[in-house]
Amino acid sequence: MSSTPTGSRTGEVLVGVALRAHGLRGEVVVDVHTDSPEERFAAGRVLVARRPPGPDGTLTVESVRPHSGRLLVRFVEAPDRTGAEALRGTRLLVDTASLALPDDPDEFHVHQLEGLRAELADGELVGTVRDVIHGPGGELLVLAREGAPDALVPFVREIVPTVDMAAGKVVLTPPEGLLDTE
């Protein structure tokens, strides 16, 4: 899986969040929300910068380096600590049209999965894929269910054997109790 949209508008995916300034040279600590940080944060890459309530802007990656499980990113538009500090809380997004489809047919971008119907093997509707959570044990599909709380379903072949993009659905074979509401 690739980039994680969290509350993004249609056509955009969240790839990171600017947390705080680091040092005096304009580096920003970025919490990464993508499986491809080397591609999404490559020098020269232009990202959509969203920090409500202001209008969207763009940020151009000048340089990047790893730091304690996160990235330190310098943006052309924030050349010093003051500029970097002003980015605190900024959501960094890319347009889904700029994303190449995964080479592996068993891999998907999150935005491709959002909105798919979730059905049991017999065709019974379970809900709709609302989000994908990247947890320490792997990905979880968040299923919005009518009249019931969201369900978290491990995104593994044993439980989600079929992702049919053309039909707009995922097929589930959940173990007993996984979808229980109580």
Q: What CATH number does residue 161 fall under? A: 2.30.30.240
Confidence tier at 120 by pLDDT (50, 70, 90):
very high
132 or 91, greater pLDDT: 91
State the average pLDDT over residues 85-101.
Answer: 83
Helices (H) then strands (E): counts for the chain: 3, 12
Same domain, 120 and 160: yes
User: What DSSP string describes 133-170?
Assistant: EEETTEEEEEEEETTEEEEEEE-STTT--EEETTTTEE
Same domain, 79 and 125: no
State the average pLDDT over residues 15-35.
Answer: 92
Q: What token pair was written down for 35?
A: 């499986």
Q: Answer yes or no: are the C-beta atoms of 9 and 87 closer than 8 Å.
A: no
Range of the domain at 160: 114-172
The whole-number pLDDT of residue 2 equals: 35
Same domain, 147 and 83: no
Residue 3 predicted with pLDDT over 50: no
R_g (Cα) of the chain, nearest Å: 19
Phi, psi of 99 (to 5 degrees): -90, 125
Asked whether the whole model's pTM tops 0.85, one would answer: no
The whole-number pLDDT of residue 99 equals: 63
Mean pLDDT of the chain: 86
Q: How many structural domains does the chain have? A: 2
Among 69, 98, 127, where does a domain finish?
Answer: 98
How many angstroms from the chain centroid is the CA of residue 168? Answer: 20
Which region among 11-20, 76-85, 94-103, 148-157 has the lowest average model confidence (pLDDT)?
Answer: 94-103
- Domain membership flag for residue 137: yes
Residue 108 predicted with pLDDT over 80: no
The whole-number pLDDT of residue 8 equals: 38
State the average pLDDT over residues 20-26.
Answer: 93
Alpha helix segments (H runs only) across the chain: 37-40, 81-85, 110-113
Q: What percent of the chain has pLDDT above 70? A: 86
Among 49, 72, 98, where does a domain finish?
Answer: 98
Longest dimension (CA), the chain: 60
The whole-number pLDDT of residue 84 equals: 96
Residue 101 predicted with pLDDT over 70: no
The whole-number pLDDT of residue 182 equals: 64
Phi, psi of 54 (to 5 degrees): -75, 170
Same domain, 28 and 57: yes
Phi, psi of 126 (to 5 degrees): -100, -40
